[in-house]
Amino acid sequence: MMNKVPVILISGFLGSGKTTLLLRLLAHTRQIPLRAAVLMNEMGEYDVDSAIISEEMPDVTVEGLLEGCICCSKRNELAGALHTLLSQEPDLIFMETTGVANPEQVLEELRSPLLADRLYLVHSISVVDAELFHEYNSRFTADKELVRTLHGQLRTADFIVVNKTDTASSREVTKVVKSIRKLNDTAKLQTTEYSRVDLEPLLEPVLASASVAAKPAQTPQPAPAQVQLTDADAPFVPIPVKSIGSTSSVSRSTAFKVISTHSHNHDPKQPHSFSRLESITLHQYSPQPLEKQRLENFLTGLGSSLLRAKGYCVLPQEGTMLLQFSGNHLEWQPTALPVSQGYVTLIGEQLDKASITDQWEQCFISL
């Protein structure tokens, strides 16, 4: 009989620090060494997080499920994606959900006969943004699905990371921990910055597992990343990541343009995690240079309707940069990824598409 492969599920709301934690876990598993594989689920059209992983850990196999949540619209693709990863015979699989996925449904899927014989869950980790936890909870009170999702992320966890404590007062952090404990008083909980948690105890059950113990330790071979393009028809190579999700039609009516938009049309028969959040992808098709300051002003000017933005921008001075925006904090990081044309995915509510299109066009410098 085949050994079951351990799975660590990482959930948490948008921008809370899931990928930051995943990168730490991957670095640690590489040292042990364990051969890890990743299932990445993104709301947007492009898989920014997989690109980040592919850049930092080119030997890790990443499977991406895009444009929907594995808890609902992508649920029927979850088993296929996991079986693809299993065919690589990893020692361990990490699953990172979208920020609006309810892990309750994902856990249910893992218990299904198709998967239960091949996988077993070792941890369900939930990452929380200490600064925004209460703000999001009160902001989304009226949206029952979203509240259920946020609570589901905490209730199902056996390990909770209260992250971003550098951006919250210690009083707020204490309040957040107290609120979390009302939902889950048994999970281990750690408060931290940049998802710096004790990794060894998390990986202990994996090391003890039969599938790992049965194999001789392998030194990870730097192999080419498991890469394929997201959209075979696209005239450019946005990022080298693999997607097995469906692709979207992209408006290319003008040189600049925008935009593919996704409101999330869930199958009404399926339980789903959120109702009013949407994502928009802005493409850098313009031959004119993108101006960094204008882009920053545009994003911060969207105010509270913008919850998250991420993508790669090709800038005239700096070259290609990874853009991350969450909780009103904007971060730029240089990247060596071969991004020929940039894009930014925005996630928010009540995003005014016409105005966003217009403002995006204003971010380009007239030649």
Ligand X SMILES: Nc1nc2c(ncn2[C@@H]2O[C@H](COP(=O)(O)OP(=O)(O)OP(=O)(O)O)[C@@H](O)[C@H]2O)c(=O)[nH]1
Which residues bind to ligand X, rule: CB under 6 A? 12, 14-20, 49, 99, 127, 163-164, 166-167, 193-195, 308, 324, 326, 329, 331
Q: Compute the CA torsion angle 172, 124, 65, 131 (nearest 10 deg).
A: 0
Question: Where does residue 4 rank: exposed (0-12), middle (13-18), buried (19+ CB within 10 A)?
Answer: middle
Q: How far is the CB of 307 from ligand X (least distance, A)?
A: 8
Question: Between 141 and 328, whose beta carbon lies closer to ligand X?
Answer: 328
Question: Between 212 and 302, whose beta carbon lies closer to ligand X?
Answer: 302
Q: List C-alpha distances in Å: 18 to 98, 135, 197, 262, 347.
A: 9, 19, 12, 22, 16
Q: How far is the CB of 22 from ligand X (least distance, A)?
A: 7
Question: Between 257 and 308, whose beta carbon lies closer to ligand X?
Answer: 308
Q: How far is Cα 6 from Cα 24, in angstroms, rounded to an integer?
A: 18
Q: How far is the CB of 105 from ligand X (least distance, A)?
A: 17
Q: How far is the CB of 167 from ligand X (least distance, A)?
A: 5
Question: Where does residue 1 rank: exposed (0-12), middle (13-18), buried (19+ CB within 10 A)?
Answer: exposed
Question: Where does residue 41 rank: exposed (0-12), middle (13-18), buried (19+ CB within 10 A)?
Answer: buried
Question: Between 166 and 352, whose beta carbon lies closer to ligand X?
Answer: 166
Q: How far is Cα 43 from Cα 74, in angstroms, rounded to an integer?
A: 10
Question: Between 20 and 29, whose beta carbon lies closer to ligand X?
Answer: 20
> Nearest Cα to 323, choosing from 42, 135, 100, 51?
51
Q: How far is the CB of 296 from ligand X (least distance, A)?
A: 14
Question: Between 45 and 49, whose beta carbon lies closer to ligand X?
Answer: 49
* CB neighbours of residue 330 within 10 Å: 14
Question: Between 34 and 53, whose beta carbon lies closer to ligand X?
Answer: 53
Question: Between 242 and 310, whose beta carbon lies closer to ligand X?
Answer: 310
Q: List C-alpha distances in Å: 253 to 236, 249, 256.
A: 16, 12, 8
Q: Compute the CA torsion angle 327, 330, 332, 337 (nearest 10 deg).
A: 40
Instruction: Extract the tokens encoding 235.
Output: 């005239």
